[in-house]
Amino acid sequence: MSVTCVFGMQWGDEGKGRVVDLLAAQSDIVVRYQGGANAGHTVVVGEERYVLHLLPSGAIQPRTLNVIGNGVVVDPWTLVREVDELEARGVRIQGRLKVSDRAHVVLPYHKRMDVALETLRGADALGTTSRGIGPAYGDKMRRAGLRTADLLKPGRFEPLLRGNLAAWNAILDRAGLEPVDVAAEVAAMTEIAGRLRPLVADTTALLGDAWRAGRRILLEGAQGFALDVDHGSYPYVTSSSTGPSGVSAGTGLPPRALDRVVGIVKAYTTRVGAGPFPTLDTGLAGRHMAQRGHEFGATTGRPRACGWFDGVVARRAVATQGVDAAALMKLDVLSGLPELQVCVAYELDGRRLDAPPAWAGDWETCRPVYETWPGWEEDLGAVRRFEDLPAAARRYVRALQDLMGTRVEMISVGAERERFIALPGGVPDEVAA
């Protein structure tokens, strides 16, 4: 299959970077199509641990071309730092990176605005990553954004910036924050533009040509389905279309270019930031997941809240995004829990719901309907074949596969590249749930 999309099916942090790194070994081009530096994708190679925020996780593989598509909001300073850091660690990026000339730019003022808007929301704050994502997409959608193409034309970005800041400075003032100094912002942009210039290209044309030539293209989603601006727990979401539905808009590839969609899902659920989380477990099990799974945000370092597998969310992701196969991550983390709960539906005001409710307030008060599965004691780190998993683990995976309605074709049992079980065709039928 030549064009594959990998995306998260929960609230982010599913392990997308790890799967992208694996699949990138058989890809020519790896592409980010949405989100920005709010992402934190971790790839572990031997003793080395890489955390990528803007570069596609495929960058760690030596031969891929890496593309940041038009749908991404690019913080040029973060991008340049990431490139420099990887180069310093011996990962060659120069000559292997292209940034869309249509991608919108995240400026320092967007980050200040992100903080200001959160402050003004008070108790209703979303818990954003403070990376300027909402304000940058906001400027884009109200047609006042700055794109990388503008950044390269000095006469172009200054008036745009002045126009925007006139309005934003009033809001910063209300939040008790310093106004943005236009001259300083212009100077900073002029400086960074020089670094960006050699990277900027018409990536739409580049990707279209590559697709028609049959090159292998891997599309890397950031965040996850439940954070999708349309399908997620709005307003406790990010500002982009996180799944394959965002690929065409965010790259210029036609929707029918996609050959295969791989949904990434953790064997339990985590969340950072505010908003609904019906399967949250604040007891022993949640602490077990947090500790064994090292559940701390790769971008902000915030502890991730942990809980049981939410089948309502995963099923909705499969149904709306057209998933061909699922990769089930961090199964090893569940070892040692005597019993595992799996949320098969929600209950709201005495009614059973098979899909998440539209209103976040309802979603927040939903009670999970659980099925209970026996756990297992064995450490899974050394298991490389599905048959070698403990029977209880095989049944658990089967139950999740049935619940999601898509085949589980990969299982991760540890952070290192090789700690992986390949399962072409999914869990066989003879494994009873």
Nearer to Mg ion, 298 or 313 (CB): 298
Nearer to ligand IMO, 131 or 147 (CB): 131
CA distance linking residue 176 with residue 334, whole number of Å: 45
Q: Is 134 in the site for ligand IMO (CB under 6 A)?
A: yes
Stretch of residues binding ligand IMO (CB under 6 A), selected from 39-47, 87-95, 148-156, 380-388: 39-47
Map the footprint of Mg ion across residues 29-88, applying CB under 5 A: 40
20, 274, 298, 317: residue in contact with Mg ion (rule CB under 5 A) = 298
Map the footprint of ligand IMO across residues 259-278, applying CB under 6 A: 272-273
288 contacts which partner out of Mg ion, ligand IMO, none, CB within 5 to 8 A by kind?
Answer: none
Count of H-run helices and E-run strands, the chain: 13, 20
Binding string, residues 290-329; x marks residues near ligand IMO by CB under 6 A: ----------------------------------------
Distances in Å between the Cα of 84 and the Cα atoms of 92, 152, 201 are 9, 21, 20
Per-residue DSSP letter, 215:
-
Q: How far is the CB of 328 from ligand IMO (least distance, A)?
A: 16
- The residue number whose beta carbon is nearest to Mg ion equals 40
CA distance linking residue 113 with residue 242, whole number of Å: 22
Q: Is 411 in the site for Mg ion (CB under 5 A)?
A: no
Stretch of residues binding ligand IMO (CB under 6 A), selected from 170-178, 217-225, 368-376, 398-406: 217-225
Identified catalytic residue from 21, 41, 75, 288: 41
13, 82, 228, 281: residue in contact with Mg ion (rule CB under 5 A) = 13
| CA-based torsion, 385, 390, 391, 395: positive or negative | negative
CA distance linking residue 363 with residue 296, whole number of Å: 24
Alpha carbon of residue 359 to chain centroid:
23
4, 61, 64, 238: residue in contact with ligand IMO (rule CB under 6 A) = 238
CA distance linking residue 221 with residue 34, whole number of Å: 7
CA distance linking residue 109 with residue 99, whole number of Å: 21
25, 93, 125, 126: residue in contact with ligand IMO (rule CB under 6 A) = 126
At 33, give phi and psi (nearest 5°).
-120, -10
Per-residue DSSP letter, 347:
E
- Contact by Cβ (8 Å): 151, 185: no
Radius of gyration of the chain (CA): 22
Q: Is 295 in the site for Mg ion (CB under 5 A)?
A: no
For residue 411, with 0-12 CB atoms within 10 Å meaning exposed, 13-18 middle and 19 or more buried, which class applies?
buried
108, 127, 322, 375: residue in contact with ligand IMO (rule CB under 6 A) = 127
Residue 45's beta-bridge partner residues? 48
Q: Is 289 in the site for ligand IMO (CB under 6 A)?
A: no
Nearer to ligand IMO, 238 or 251 (CB): 238
Reply yes or no on whether 150 is catalytic.
no
Reply yes or no on whether 41 is catalytic.
yes
Smallest CA-to-CA distance from 17 within 64, 50, 63 is with 50
- Residues annotated as part of the active site: 13, 41
Q: Which residues bind ligand IMO (CB under 6 A)?
A: 8, 11-13, 38-41, 126-129, 131, 133-134, 222-224, 227, 238-239, 272-273
Q: Which residues bind Mg ion (CB under 5 A)?
A: 13, 40, 298
